[in-house]
Amino acid sequence: MSPTRNLCTRMGLALVLGTVSCVGPGAVAQEAGDVAVPAGWKAGDPIESGDDLLFALETSDLEIKTFTAGIRYTRIFALAGDEQTRDGMLYYETVDRGDKQTPASRRFAVRFDSLRVGSRVEKEPKEYIFDGEWLVEKLEQQKQFIKRQVVPPGERFDPLRIGEGPFPVPVGQRREDVLNRYNVTLLSTEDGLDADSLRSFVTGGEGTYQLSLVPKLEPQDGDELAEIRVWYRRSDLLPRMARTTNVAGDESIVQMLSPEKNPKELPYRVFDTATPARGYDVRVEPYRGRIEQP
C-alpha cells in the first residue's frame, strides 16, 4: 500500500473530502480550456441516465462560493461487524485569486464533535483542514497536531481532481474524466439501501438522484474502492449522501444534514492551518514529492 493511500485509510477521510468535491464541479469544468462548458442545467430539466447527471453536474453550481452542512460519517467494518459514527460540520470555500489566468482554488474543513460506537456516545473533537497547500489533522483530546504539505511550494493543486490527488471520489470533475475511469449508472433512489433510516433520508423532501460509479480498472487490494454511490438533491443537485464500498466489503457513508450554499459568513478562522504555539504535540511534514494516485 502506498504511503498516501495508507494516510487516507488511517484518517478515514477520503470519502468526506470526496463528498466536498461534489460542491464545486463548475469551477473544475471551467479550468479545462479544451472542453466547452455545456449549457447550464436548470431545475426540472430531464435526467434519465448517468451521463445526463454528469452533464448537469458540470454547471449546476457555478454560483456557489461557500457551502456548509452538518455531517454524519459512518464506517461499517465487514469482517469485525463494527460500526462507528462521527457527527460534526463541514465547511467549503472557493477562493478566487482575482486573476483570470489563475483558476480558483478550494479549501475546506471538517470538524467532528462526537463518536458513537454501538450504543456508546463519546465526545471526541477532531478536525481536518485543507487550505490549498497544507492538510492538517488536529486531535484535541490527544493534543496532537499533524500538518502535511501536500502541494509543492508555489504551485497550485486540487487534491480532489482525477490524476492529481489521493482522494478517490471523482464526482465534481469533468464529465469526460469520470467516464474514462468509471462505469457510470443512474440507479433508482432506494437501490442498495437496506436501512429504513437511510431510505427515508434520501427520499424525503425533494427526493434525490442516485449515481453509481464502478472503477474500470480492477482494484489491487482490499482497501481500494469497489464502488462509489452518491445521492444528489433533485431540486439543486447539492450532495445529500455518499457511500463507498471497498474490496474487503467495508462501507463508509457520509450524510449531509441541512446543506446551505453561500451562507452569510463562515466561522472565524475555520480554515486556519497555523501551527499552535503551545499545548500540542506538533508534527510538520514538508512536501516530499508527488502524491501517488491510489
Taking residue 38's Cβ as centre, other Cβ atoms within 10 Å add up to 12
**Residue 27 is inside which H or E element, if any?**
helix 25-31
Give residue-wise pLDDT tens across range 153-206. 777 666 555 545 444 444 456 788 888 888 999 999 999 999 999 999 999 888
pLDDT of residue 181: 85
Could you give all domains of the chain from N- to C-terminal order, each with its CATH number? 3-285 (2.50.20.10)
Q: How far apart are CA 147 and CA 287, in angstroms?
A: 10
Give residue-wise pLDDT tens across range 11-60. 345 455 555 555 544 433 333 333 344 455 666 678 999 989 988 887 76
- In the predicted structure, residue 272 carries a pLDDT above the cut 80: yes
Query: Considering the entire predicted model, what is its pTM?
Result: 0.81
Contact 95, 105 (CB under 8 A): yes
pLDDT of residue 107: 84
pLDDT of residue 116: 94
- CA distance to 90, 118, 120, 121, 241, per residue, from 124 (Å): 16, 15, 12, 9, 23
